[in-house]
Structure 1
């Protein structure tokens, strides 16, 4: 579970945060109470993106191919 930390506190404690992230901990950084960034170990970020990509590709493989015919430039840019 990600720990929440304010941007001001993250700024003051950045070296400590980096050490803890290196050890596997994750943080959500907030500004005025709203999440704005996430500090995660780089390997965790890569693996979660790869997992999401594989799940999306698996889902797309189950869907039928739909032939929508040729498009014109005007059809793509409806006003």
Structure 2
């Protein structure tokens, strides 16, 4: 993994994006301590986050049958 400062990133942004698209991972550093503040990773290596259902998880279920129909008035509550 490459590291670069925010200034370097700003100066070579287009080149850096091409590198990321090619599969390179880049850490962006900031400040006198050169603390890592961000990571640029290719979209292909990112794992999709699992969606959390929260408090209602496993509390109910829904079944839609093939003959389920609703009119526009019923949908709109008219």
Larger radius of gyration: 2
- Gaps in structure 1 of 5+ consecutive residues: 54-79
What TM-score do you get using the length of structure 1 for normalisation?
0.56
- Gaps in structure 2 of 5+ consecutive residues: 51-78
Q: Which structure carries more helix by proportion?
A: 1
3-state DSSP class of the match of 1:18? helix
3-state DSSP class of the match of 1:16? helix
Instruction: Tell me if 1:36 matches 2:42.
Output: no
The Cα RMSD (Å) is 1.5
Moved segments of 4+, more than 2 Å: none
> Alignment length, in residue pairs?
48
Q: For residue 19 of structure 1, what is the aligned residue in structure 2?
A: 18
